Structure 1
């Protein structure tokens, strides 16, 4: 049985159903007892980022995990390796979706006028403040991390006339970007985008000190991992007017719940971890994952 614990493109769920028994329950992360009961019946799991493939779940007996996305911090990779469990992330399938998210939300925050709907609905006509928005052309796009998604983000930025500067101690090359140290990228960027995994090294990489080193009025976009950013410090920088805007797609705790610092913070876009999720990307991710899991199980 293939157990799918989070949302997946229905056509590819049906494709798997034509080849194997499939249990598709996309709300299982909210029902841990049911997940624990179903997992021992599964030969494969297909998950997104909310299912925690760790701890006792690794004892269930499945032989592979298909990851509908690329982040792996919800999967105990060492534990999987020790048990011979193969993990198949959908590398490359949502690259364009994330890159578009970064550049388009950055452009919205630079322009500013799109955030003025409340004033207009109240009957005001804030044409003066709205006319102070900034063009994206000629601005510096700073990338912390320079993997595949960051490279595509840089390409989109260059197409709009941006200069691209990047830092990554593990990058093979910096084709398309000027290489710099992370502190230099943060200091130069008009739009700073994060493209790093969540590790002990990157946790709270963007804290109060890092934010203070950024240009006044700079824009921050995080579509990487939530724990990379000190969320309270970002809110403080926005309230103080030092940051010109921020878009956060990933969070230290997901869903946010009631205990979060974001209420009433200006120039802030919040999205529910969908930077890599569009209709097109979901189809690509689902196809790649379905085919790799099927191949692992000998179903193709």
Structure 2
């Protein structure tokens, strides 16, 4: 049994080599993170297990990867990079890693919410350009945050927001309960929330979930935070709402196309704070991630 980490950045590559035990199956680490899909058959070179962080794996390419039986996707958003059911039809099982970065992602969402409320990003840009721009911020204490999706990240976001004196509403696809959190319908959440934070996995049911119609239900001037997946939100509708003032600000870590193209419309809006899909990137989360990938590989080999 042999695994290949096909697209390791320096941090994750170093961790994979450092955390792997002598008794573990061998894990080859490819340190060229910008792997093209057509390169995967050669990079894997017959390995039955592929660790994938951010490389697209089209089904037609997977069929060319002789011996491939398992994909360990480093996160939960595999559907953004591959068609899980089509891979299953080829006898390739996709393994996800949940929970490794719940706190890291929630802290990023929390930080984006505050940056949006205070206008820090715009003031920073203007001051670097020599302009003394002073903006009125929003006081979040006492405001209502609505969490769309209440898994591990949503629960961590709720903890942080409650600690900041915010009221917390949540909507989840399955019934849940939590101290200090009021679970409501999606319509009520959108209508009552001063901040809406998205924490849904991307699948066929959630793609485009925050549609133009749902954005129109939000409080005018509300803040939108997305650290889940770009495709959960209708990007064109969000941009239109930001331009019209229906949305007061958006704090975004994820996008329909990544990396975000130069001169993308979002880069031209003052009421947007952007981060480069980095919510999960902390030393603690990275260690959790690689240890979980090794555990998957140990289980597969066993």
Structure 1-normalised TM-score? 0.88
Question: Would you say the 8 A contact 2:74–2:97 is kept in 1?
Answer: yes
Matches within 5 A, 1:235-254: 235-254=239-258
Residue deviations 1:225-251 (CA, integer Å, cap 9, x gap): 111112222222222222121122222
Select which of 281, 290, 295 maps to 1:291: 295
Residue deviations 1:219-278 (CA, integer Å, cap 9, x gap): 111111111112222222222222121122222222233473223111212222222222
Following the alignment from structure 1 to structure 2, what is the Cα–Cα distance between the partners of residues 46 and 245? 36
> Could you say if the C-alpha distance between residues 76 and 204 of structure 1 is closer, same or farther in structure 2, counting changes exceeding 3 Å?
closer
> Could you say if the C-alpha distance between residues 33 and 126 of structure 1 is closer, same or farther in structure 2, counting changes exceeding 3 Å?
closer
Question: Would you say the 8 A contact 1:40–1:62 is kept in 2?
Answer: no
Following the alignment from structure 2 to structure 1, what is the Cα–Cα distance between the partners of residues 117 and 276? 21
Residue deviations 1:80-114 (CA, integer Å, cap 9, x gap): 44455443322111100111011111011111245
- For 2:28, the equivalent position in structure 1 comes to 23
> Could you say if the C-alpha distance between residues 176 and 60 of structure 1 is closer, same or farther in structure 2, counting changes exceeding 3 Å?
farther
Following the alignment from structure 1 to structure 2, what is the Cα–Cα distance between the partners of residues 104 and 14? 31
Q: Where do 5+ consecutive residues of structure 1 fail to align?
A: none
Select which of 85, 105, 108 maps to 1:101: 108
Aligned positions, number = 295
Question: Would you say the 8 A contact 2:52–2:71 is kept in 1?
Answer: yes
Select which of 33, 50, 55 maps to 2:55: 50
* 1:222 equivalent in alignment to 2:233: no
Of 173-182 and 89-98, the range deviating more from structure 2: 173-182
Structure 2-normalised TM-score? 0.87
* 1:67 equivalent in alignment to 2:73: yes
- For 1:119, the equivalent position in structure 2 comes to 126
Matches within 5 A, 1:196-211: 196-211=200-215
Q: Once the 2 structures are TM-superposed, how far is the Cα of residue 28 of structure 1 from its aligned partner?
A: 5.5
Matches within 5 A, 1:247-266: 247-258=251-262, 260-266=264-270
Select which of 1, 15, 30 maps to 1:11: 15
- For 1:2, the equivalent position in structure 2 comes to 3
Alpha-carbon RMSD across the aligned residues, in angstroms, is 2.4
Question: Would you say the 8 A contact 1:113–1:133 is kept in 2?
Answer: no
- For 2:199, the equivalent position in structure 1 comes to 195
> Could you say if the C-alpha distance between residues 190 and 57 of structure 1 is closer, same or farther in structure 2, counting changes exceeding 3 Å?
same
Question: Would you say the 8 A contact 2:202–2:231 is kept in 1?
Answer: yes
Of 31-40 and 244-253, the range deviating more from structure 2: 31-40
Of 80-89 and 262-271, the range deviating more from structure 2: 80-89
Q: Once the 2 structures are TM-superposed, how far is the Cα of residue 176 of structure 1 from its aligned partner?
A: 3.8
> Could you say if the C-alpha distance between residues 40 and 214 of structure 1 is closer, same or farther in structure 2, counting changes exceeding 3 Å?
same
Following the alignment from structure 1 to structure 2, what is the Cα–Cα distance between the partners of residues 117 and 259? 19
Select which of 184, 201, 222 maps to 2:188: 184
Following the alignment from structure 1 to structure 2, what is the Cα–Cα distance between the partners of residues 34 and 209? 41
Q: Where do 5+ consecutive residues of structure 2 fail to align?
A: none
Q: Once the 2 structures are TM-superposed, how far is the Cα of residue 40 of structure 1 from its aligned partner?
A: 4.7
Of 227-236 and 47-56, the range deviating more from structure 2: 47-56
> Could you say if the C-alpha distance between residues 79 and 60 of structure 1 is closer, same or farther in structure 2, counting changes exceeding 3 Å?
farther
Select which of 86, 96, 103 maps to 1:89: 96
Q: Once the 2 structures are TM-superposed, how far is the Cα of residue 32 of structure 1 from its aligned partner?
A: 2.3
Question: Would you say the 8 A contact 1:2–1:43 is kept in 2?
Answer: yes
